[in-house]
């Protein structure tokens, strides 16, 4: 059981380049999330998708777009990368219901130079 | 609004000693509380949760947490720390009365780095 799979694990981009971070889950979860983790800042929610076909902004959505391609996949796109987007990005998923926690992927470490 | 606080950025303990990682929360209803652990270069892993019932919740790797409604706390504990427990620990809260939309998302604390020395 793979859980939540993120690709790539590492990426270096030049300022202005674009890229898409991929996330897929095999647990039939309804909800999916994208977070960024920066030192001293904890986890900050970028976007989330409560169910297939819906997406909503989180705490720090600027500079990002998302696509909930189907129930399994939730991608995060950086259209024009900036050094401030250097971070570790985590995807997570959860079952629908307030007593469920999240299952996290192993992360993508992104450096923008 | 829901919030969660981890008042200590870092906790240092000696191996074999008991450890406590603190968490306090603020919600309008009865909280659902979670602890996660993050080992270096890994994603967050679920440790335990409190939904209802016994205030003392037991989880993975010998960890437990005590829910204290009067003090609005959910501190993580372990009777005897191991060097391998060194990691970043996150507390999270959800208010089921506000479930729906963004209010239904887990709110995470900023994390506490636990360092266990031999």
CB–CB of B20/B76 below 8 Å? yes
Predicted pLDDT at A10: 96
pLDDT at B13 over 80: yes
Mean pLDDT for the stretch of residues A22-47 = 93
Predicted pLDDT at B30: 84
pLDDT at A9 over 60: yes
Predicted pLDDT at A107: 96
Q: B35: nearest CA in chain A?
A: A101
Instruction: Please provide residue B60's backbone torsions phi and psi, each rounded to the nearest 5 degrees.
Output: -75, 160
Q: Which residue has the higher pLDDT, A84 or B98?
A: A84
Buried b (16+ CB within 10 A) or exposed e, B42-80: ebbebbbbbbeeeeebebeeebbbbbeeeebbbbbebee
Give B77's strand partners: B20, B64
Residue A70, SS3?
coil
Q: What is the pLDDT of residues B31-89, one digit of tens each?
A: 899 999 999 989 999 999 999 889 999 999 999 999 999 999 999 999 999 999 999 99
CB–CB of A101/B46 below 8 Å? yes
Predicted pLDDT at B102: 57
Q: What is the dihedral of CA A24, B42, B111, B72, to 10 degrees?
A: 60
A104 shares contact with chain B (CB less than 8 Å)? yes
User: Which residues of A fall within a CB distance of 8 Å from B9?
Assistant: 40
Average confidence score pLDDT of chain B: 91
End-to-end C-alpha distance for chain A, whole angstroms:
36
A101 shares contact with chain B (CB less than 8 Å)? yes
Q: Nearest Cα to B89, choosing from B57, B49, B44? A: B44
The token pair at B101 is: 């939309």
Residues 26-65 of A with CB under 8 A from B: 33, 40-43, 45, 48, 50, 56, 58
Predicted pLDDT at A63: 96
pLDDT at A83 over 60: yes
Predicted pLDDT at A96: 75
Predicted pLDDT at A1: 63
pLDDT at B104 over 80: no
- C-alpha A19/C-alpha A22 separation (Å) is 10
């Amino acid at each position: 059981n793979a859980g939540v799979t993120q690709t790539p694990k590492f990426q270096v981009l030049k300022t202005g380049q674009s890229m898409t971070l991929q996330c897929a889950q095999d647990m039939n979860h309804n909800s999916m999330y994208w977070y960024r983790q920066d030192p001293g800042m904890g986890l900050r929610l970028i976007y989330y998708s409560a169910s297939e076909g819906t997406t909503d902004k989180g705490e720090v959505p600027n500079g990002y777009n998302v696509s909930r391609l189907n129930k399994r996949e939730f991608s995060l796109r950086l259209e024009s990368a900036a050094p401030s987007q250097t971070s570790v990005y985590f995807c997570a998923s959860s079952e629908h219901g307030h007593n469920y926690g999240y299952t996290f992927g192993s992360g993508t470490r992104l450096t923008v130079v | 609004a829901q919030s969660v606080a981890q008042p200590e950025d870092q906790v240092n303990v000696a191996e074999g000693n008991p450890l406590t990682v603190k968490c306090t929360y603020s919600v309008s209803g009865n909280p659902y509380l979670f602890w996660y652990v993050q080992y270096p270069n890994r994603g967050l892993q679920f440790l335990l949760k409190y939904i209802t019932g016994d205030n003392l919740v037991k989880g993975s790797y010998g960890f437990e947490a005590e829910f204290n409604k009067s003090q609005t706390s959910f501190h993580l504990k372990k009777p005897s720390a191991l060097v391998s427990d060194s990691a970043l620990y996150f507390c999270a809260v959800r208010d089921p009365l506000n479930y729906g939309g963004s209010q239904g998302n887990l709110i995470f604390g900023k994390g506490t780095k636990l360092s266990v020395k031999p």
